Structure 1
Amino acid sequence: MPNDTVVKVQEYKDTLIKKAEHLITKCFPEKIVQLNELLATSMFNERNFDEVHQDLNIPALAPVLVKNHSNSDDADGATDDGDHPPTKRARKDVLVSGQPVLALPSGTVPCNKPLCDMIKVVKPIIRKLVEDSNLLKMWISFMIPKIEDGNNFGVSIQEDTLAEIQTVESEAAAFFDQISRYFLSRAKVVSKVAKYPHIDDYRRAVVELDEKEYLSLWLVVCEVRNRYSSLHDIVIKNLEKLKKPRSSNTESLY
């Protein structure tokens, strides 16, 4: 039974090595071309910022006049008990902290549809980069030889390449966090618009946030393409040393 387990583990390693080699030699170049073509489409290229704006569906209601009422029956709030001259009571100002949001009059506030369409395209690309980076990381880890004294130049190349792949994997995972933070930030600003519908700065903040996210999504696709290009370049240039980090010099001695 233990032998069967060892065989299955070795089969897993051999399969992973074959997938990684196919990935770096064929899939990476195809992915780079695919991302270049995606960046040339109308969704990511030649689109004005006006095309990614979204109506908030939060109308500015008619202004409500607020009057301050005193407890006096007189219009000026004066009191007269007969013995003392009339005195004015201290005025109590009404603090308006915003419009209470119980329900939006025009229904829900929609997400930004153009950006959501872009996110649907970008998220699988980010996920694929994370998966490919993880595969390459395990591939190089399996090819690192046992620790020995001397002749570690090829091993250092493996370790440097492995560190670069781990950096790419971490950056790709951070792209997901960037998308979630956009929705959270937008929701906070939209809630401000709902509470203070007459303040145009909050509405403008939503517009600026959408434009920033559009630029960020374009930049994410560019960065993913660049990461595929850099990984393909560094692996292809050092492929011989990655596969055989320790070369044997015995043949040259005879």
Structure 2
Amino acid sequence: MNNSKDTKIENSNEDAIGDNMDISDDAIKQLKQDFKQSAIDLVVKKFHKKARNVDSLMKDKKFQFSYNDFGVDINIPATKPMANSCTNEIECQNKDSNSGEPLATKRLKLSHNSIAINCISTESDDSSDDKNSNHKKVVLFSNGTVECNPTLTELTAIIRPLLDEFIADLVTLKTGIHLMIPQIEDGNNFGVEVQQDVLELLTTVEEEMIGRMNSFHVYYSIRADLVVKLAEHPDSDDYRRAIGQRDQLFHKQLCYILASIRNYYLQIHDLIVKNLKRIQKPKSGTNEGLLY
């Protein structure tokens, strides 16, 4: 009796699992079909429109490679030594010793727009007791915030969403084409080779675009370091020029990213439309036609 009951329970569990698998299979089939259709719709209905939109955007003079009218006044003026300021380290130390202050304290009076500022770097005996502590130098901007380059900030706000959207489109398109690859069989694999060639191109473009995303972070990090260096050495014309050159380089990178998005939208649309039948039905039964 117990054996028969156990058998009935096992059969009912198997039936329940089978029903769930049927529901799951139907849902998965629909999901795959949705991805396939989304991939085709992207190419047929969207890619050529995006290429035209980006091309129109590139006609703006700010997106021209030759555009260079985006200089910015860095809010770190050069110093003007005051009459009673010391001019070298030895003189500063002598003044400190005469005033009874520790020799390790160095004072250099600077004038920013007629405002006297004391830049003090102190090495006290107390700090030497804690050799494991990390002391970070704090740089203060006497004239207030040093703004980002407004033109480049404006262009970044336009290009970054376009880049994000393009990468998302590539991911959807790759997934759809992957799902169109048929079961592996011997013979009549020309259509599959077409699919593989398209996927290889999409993967290459995706990796390049993801790499381009890092250029935003790199630009702001390097520029921030240069601004801090200029604040520490406000009389250095090299640091001022370096900031300007970094802005120019980043502008060229933004223009290149925008041009790449337009060109890849066009190239991918052209390649897939020309080979759409092969991509959708790689096992058509004939080997007529070539990859364009």
- TM-score normalised to the size of structure 2? 0.72
Name the SS for the 1:43 alignment partner.
helix
Output the amino acid matched with 2:22. N
Q: How far apart are the structure 2 equivalents of 1:48 and 1:155?
A: 45
Q: How far apart are the structure 1 equivalents of 2:65 and 2:194?
A: 41
Q: How far apart are the structure 1 equivalents of 2:228 and 2:74?
A: 11
Q: Is the 8 A contact 2:181 2:282 kept in 1?
A: yes
Q: Which residue of 2 aligns with 1:222?
A: 259
Tell me whether 1:68 sits opposite 2:68 in the alignment. Answer: no
Q: Is the 8 A contact 2:65 2:255 kept in 1?
A: no
Deviation at 1:42, TM superposition (A): 3.4
Deviation at 1:247, TM superposition (A): 1.9
Q: Which residue of 2 aligns with 1:134?
A: 171
Tell me whether 1:245 sits opposite 2:263 in the alignment. Answer: no
Cα–Cα, structure 1 residues 57 and 243, in superposed 2: closer, same or farther, change >3 Å?
Answer: same
Q: Is the 8 A contact 2:139 2:231 kept in 1?
A: no
Q: How far apart are the structure 2 equivalents of 1:38 and 1:67?
A: 55
Q: How far apart are the structure 1 equivalents of 2:141 and 2:44?
A: 55
Superposed CA offset, 1:29-78 (max 9, x none): 100100110001233148741x211111011122351262698xxxxxxx
Q: Which residues of 2 match residues 116-131 of structure 1 at below 5 A? A: 116-131=153-168
Name the SS for the 1:68 alignment partner.
helix
Q: Which residue of 2 aligns with 1:195?
A: 232
Q: How far apart are the structure 2 equivalents of 1:172 and 1:24?
A: 18
Q: How far apart are the structure 2 equivalents of 1:167 and 1:46?
A: 25
Counterpart selection for 2:54 from 20, 25, 35: 35
Output the amino acid matched with 1:61. T
Counterpart selection for 1:11 from 21, 30, 36: 30
Q: CA RMSD in A?
A: 2.0
Name the SS for the 2:62 alignment partner.
coil
Tell me whether 1:106 sits opposite 2:143 in the alignment. Answer: yes
Deviation at 1:208, TM superposition (A): 0.6
Q: Which residue of 1 aligns with 2:44?
A: 25
Q: Which residue of 2 aligns with 1:91?
A: none
Q: Which residue of 2 aligns with 1:84?
A: none
Q: Is the 8 A contact 1:52 1:214 kept in 2?
A: no
Q: How far apart are the structure 2 equivalents of 1:62 and 1:202?
A: 18
Q: How far apart are the structure 2 equivalents of 1:22 and 1:173?
A: 23
Q: Is the 8 A contact 1:32 1:225 kept in 2?
A: yes
Output the amino acid matched with 2:28. V
**Structure 1, unaligned runs of 5 or more:** 72-93, 250-254
**Structure 2, unaligned runs of 5 or more:** 1-19, 95-105, 109-118, 122-137, 287-292
Deviation at 1:171, TM superposition (A): 1.1
Cα–Cα, structure 1 residues 58 and 145, in superposed 2: closer, same or farther, change >3 Å?
Answer: same
Which is worse superposed, 31-40 or 61-70? 61-70
Cα–Cα, structure 1 residues 106 and 25, in superposed 2: closer, same or farther, change >3 Å?
Answer: same
Q: Once superposed, which parts of structure 1, at least 4 consecutive aligned residues long, lie more than 6 Å away? A: none
Name the SS for the 1:26 alignment partner.
helix
Superposed CA offset, 1:171-218 (max 9, x none): 111111011111111111111111111110110000011011111111
Q: How far apart are the structure 1 equivalents of 2:148 and 2:164?
A: 22
Tell me whether 1:57 sits opposite 2:75 in the alignment. Answer: yes
Identity percentage of aligned residues: 32
Paired residues, what number?
A: 223
Tell me whether 1:210 sits opposite 2:247 in the alignment. Answer: yes
Deviation at 1:248, TM superposition (A): 2.1
Deviation at 1:109, TM superposition (A): 1.1
Q: How far apart are the structure 2 equivalents of 1:67 and 1:149?
A: 82
